């Protein structure tokens, strides 16, 4: 995993921390083709792993139901996978960059390597363009993968994830949890009860469970 750009946590003029596997996957030509998606991006907390506020302890990382199966299903189609995550605990002084990195490594131990991580280290009042619901994380991840956001899927558990996807031109799918507000669920076009159902419905193929989210 190579660090492409790691701004200071206090910086608001730079974008997110961007980490990639050191090679690009996909292309904008592919994004305009007939495939179901150019890339699939996942929120981290509450989507891939249980949402423990400001968690910097890798031993506390627990996968969400069907997360591994969903990631495997995307990879089986040859589609790049990435993570787009707000980590304001860094700006708030509650998390160190090293703790965020330790959790990232634990997530990859459980789910395998992701093609890109886009991490916003800023706080809600910092005025950055990357903190969801702003589109910066999605744009940065798509740029690193060299794919068109319009052919990219974004899965998350709260309205900010979907708002970021839509602001970037991507398709957002809400996978609600007990912390998802009812008004967020009512406001979005696509929902699914779990990650695997979402992936199967969106990507289709022989494992399609039928119907869209």
Please write down the HEC assignment for all residues of 17-68: EEEECCCCCCCHHHHCCCCCCCEEEECCECCCECCCCCCCCHHHCCECCCHH
Say whether 43 is catalytic: yes
Say whether 59 is catalytic: no
Q: Which positions ≥6 away from 84 have C-beta within 8 Å?
A: 41, 42, 43, 44, 118, 132, 137, 138, 141, 154, 161, 164
- 180: helix, strand or coil: coil
Contact 39, 26 (CB under 8 A): yes
Instruction: State the burial class of residue 199 (Cβ atoms within 10 Å of its Cβ: 0-12, 13-18, 19+).
Output: buried
CA-only gyration radius of the chain, Å: 16
Which candidate in 43, 115, 157, 161 is catalytic? 43
Q: Where would I find the H helices in 28-181? A: 28-31, 67-76, 97-111, 136-145, 159-168
Separation CA 42–CA 82 (nearest Å): 6
Catalytically active residues are 43, 45
């Amino acid at each position: 995993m190579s660090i492409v750009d790691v701004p200071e946590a206090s910086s608001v003029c730079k974008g997110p921390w961007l980490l990639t596997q050191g090679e690009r996957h996909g292309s904008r030509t592919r994004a305009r083709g007939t495939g179901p998606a150019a890339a699939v991006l996942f929120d981290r907390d509450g989507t891939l792993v249980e949402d423990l506020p400001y968690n910097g302890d890798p031993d506390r990382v627990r996968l969400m139901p069907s997360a591994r199966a969903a990631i495997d299903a995307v990879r089986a189609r040859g589609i790049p996978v990435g993570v787009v995550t707000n980590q304001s605990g860094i700006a708030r002084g509650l998390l160190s960059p090293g703790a965020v990195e330790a959790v990232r490594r634990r997530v990859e131990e459980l789910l395998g390597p992701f093609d890109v991580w886009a991490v916003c280290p800023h706080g809600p009042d910092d005025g950055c363009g990357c903190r969801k619901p702003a589109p910066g994380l999605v744009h940065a991840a798509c740029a690193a993968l060299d794919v068109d956001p319009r052919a990219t899927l974004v899965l998350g558990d709260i309205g900010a994830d979907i708002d970021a996807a839509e602001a970037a031109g991507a398709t957002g799918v809400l996978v609600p949890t007990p912390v998802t507000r009812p008004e967020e669920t009512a406001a979005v076009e696509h929902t699914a009860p779990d990650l695997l159902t979402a992936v199967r419905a969106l990507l289709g193929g022989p494992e399609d469970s039928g119907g869209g989210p």
